[in-house]
Amino acid sequence: MDQLTRNDLYSLEQYAEVRADFRRRVIEHKKNRRLALDAHHTLYFEDALTVQYQVQEMLRIERIFEAAGIAEELAAYNPLIPDGANWKATYMVEYADEAERKTALARLIGVEDTIWLRVGAHDPVFAIADEDLERSSAEKTASVHFLRFELTPEMAAAAKAGEALTAGIAHAACSTRCVVPDNVRSALAADLS
């Protein structure tokens, strides 16, 4: 997929006018891009629209309107857009209780490298995690990671042909597996070229 440019973005004034409608559109769009691996582990698959929303919100919050600042935001967020041969996702470890979350993050060191997706009967594809910077330490993993799943041409063709997708985690402290629902599978297939 193409990277976003400044021409793809609303100015701050335009965004103020369209924000409510744009936000509703993105929220509806994201319903087909969210995959709960279990009650505490979720993948949010990114694409150009989800990334545009993130950039627009950052520009709005930070009141960035100069070309250099906009270019910085685009450089930070464009790597989250899949390129047609992969899927990219924000992975979140979600616990409402802070103490429970702290305990879980300490047990889940390295979990980001054990998340996988599988197209049909092909081998699982394990995530390439946090290419921009390390998010974990020796004491705990982070609650947010950025993942990339690289597919072979055969896997991409099978996914576009409608083969089933499964996903999971293969970590000693958390092993889970799920079938990717049809709405998410269809959205992910559309990301492939």
The tens place of each residue's pLDDT in the chain, 193 residues long, gives: 689 999 999 999 999 999 999 999 999 999 999 999 999 999 999 999 999 999 999 999 999 999 999 999 999 999 999 999 999 999 999 999 999 999 999 999 999 999 999 999 999 999 999 887 677 788 899 999 999 999 999 999 999 999 999 999 999 999 999 999 999 999 999 999 9
Q: Can you give the pLDDT at residue 132?
A: 74
At 38, is the secondary structure helix, strand, or coil? Answer: coil
Q: Can you give the pLDDT at residue 42?
A: 98
Within 8 A by CB and 6+ apart from 64, the residues are 58, 70, 73
Q: Can you give the pLDDT at residue 172?
A: 95
Largest Cα–Cα separation, the chain: 50
- Counting Cβ atoms within 10 Å, is residue 123 exposed (0-12), middle (13-18) or buried (19+)? exposed
Q: Can you give the pLDDT at residue 68?
A: 95
Q: Kindly list the domain boundaries of the chain, sorted by start residue.
A: 1-30+48-81, 34-46+83-193
Give the span between the Cα atoms of 167 and 125, in whole angstroms. 9
Fold (topology level) of 34-46+83-193: Immunoglobulin-like (2.60.40)
Q: Can you give the pLDDT at residue 1?
A: 60
The conformation of residue 145, written as its DSSP 8-state character, comes to: E
Whether residue 111 contacts residue 174, with contact meaning beta carbons closer than 8 Å, is answered with yes
From 82, 53, 58, select the one nearest 70 (Cα to Cα). 58
